[in-house]
Every structure is written in structure tokens, then in C-alpha cells.
Amino acid sequence: MITFEYTPSAFDDSWTDKWSPRSNGRNVPPQEVDQYAFLFDYFHVAVDLAIAQLSIQRRYLTIPVVDLILTFELIRRSLIREGFVEAAASRNQITLACRLAGEHVLVRAKGQPEEARVLFTEFLEFHRLASIRAMSMLYTAHQELRQNPYLAHVEEILDVVGVA
């Protein structure tokens, strides 16, 4: 079983109406925020993720939600192509080693001795729901982000166009 929760960081103004986005050193409308700002600067979340008996909690170290869901996408694609991957979010706050074993995915988090075992179909469903939830959170915070070309591209990569 996989459970997850993202909680917007209280220290990140990008979740609020006070947000004044910047890109390349200048103020821009939300529609013009670039890839790097989404991956490193904005929309940090605390993460609570449980994969079978493996629990990953990042309540005090937050991570940009776009970076997190793209890390899950890297894991999904790598498992399909190669059957194994070690993936880390851009700021290396969450590192997962995953490998296919028949119909299951074995998951180990860096720094934890336990290895979780879940059905690959369950991992795929988790990936889809986590992606939809992340995009919905962004669009709920700022409706204008629906017109952001980079986020439109992220939706295509995640195969959730128009779902969030």
C-alpha cells in the first residue's frame, strides 16, 4: 500500500496571494515563471510518503512539488525501460532506489534499512494520483498557472493533461 500527503510549506509565499514571482532577476506574471523556478524556488511542500512498511517523511525539509513529481516520473520511466533506478530530487532530500521484481517494485530510501515491496500497478496508480494532486494544488493556489507553458509541458510528461 502507498499513501502520500503533500502539505504546502508555511514559509513559501508562492502558495499565497502575496506571491510576487521572479524569473531571471525580474518580476513576471505566473504564466511566465520558468522551469528552474518551479524546480528549485517555488511551491515547496512537506512530504509524508509511506510505501508498504517504508516511511519517508520530510516535514521540516521541504521540496518543490514539481521537482518531486518529476522525480517520481523518472522512476516510473526508468523502471519500465531498465527495471532499476536510483533517483534523487534536485536537492537530494529524497533518494529512492527502485527495482522491478516480477510484478512488484522493491523500494529502498537512502539512509533507511527497510525495503518496501508493492505491486507495480499500485506504484503506477500512486504516480498518477500524486501527479494529479500536485498539479491541482498548483492551480488551486494560482489559477493563472494553467496558462504557464512549462507546467503545460509537465502535464504532458506526466500524462495528466486537463485532469487537474
In three-state form (DSSP H/G/I as H, E/B as E, the rest C), the secondary structure along the chain is CEEEEEEECCCCHHHCCCCCCEECCEECCHHHCCHHHHHHHCCEEEEEEEECCEEEEEEEEEEEHHHHHHHHHHHHHHHHHCCEEEEECCCCCCEEEEEEECCEEEEEECCCCCEEEEEHHHHHHHHHHHHHHHHHHHHHHCHHHHHCHHHHHHHHHHCCCCCC
Please tell me the predicted confidence (pLDDT) of residue 92: 60
Average pLDDT over residues 107-134: 92
Average pLDDT over residues 40-63: 82
Percent of the chain beyond pLDDT 90?
70
Average pLDDT over residues 114-129: 94
Choose from 41-50, 82-91, 114-123, 145-154 the range with maximum mean pLDDT. Answer: 145-154
Residue that has been written with the C-alpha cell 518543490 in this structure: 64
pLDDT at 60 over 60: no
- pLDDT tens-digit readout, 68-86: 999 999 999 999 999 999 9
- pLDDT tens-digit readout, 9-19: 999 999 999 99
What pTM does this model have? 0.91
Percent of the chain beyond pLDDT 70?
95
pLDDT at 89 over 70: yes
Q: Which of 38, 33, 48 is nearest to 3 (CA)?
A: 48
Q: Which of 78, 80, 71, 79 is nearest to 110 (CA)?
A: 71
pLDDT confidence tier of residue 20, bands split at 50, 70 and 90: very high
Q: Does residue 92 contact residue 82 with C-beta atoms inside 8 Å?
A: no
pLDDT at 25 over 70: yes
Q: Does residue 135 contact residue 164 with C-beta atoms inside 8 Å?
A: yes
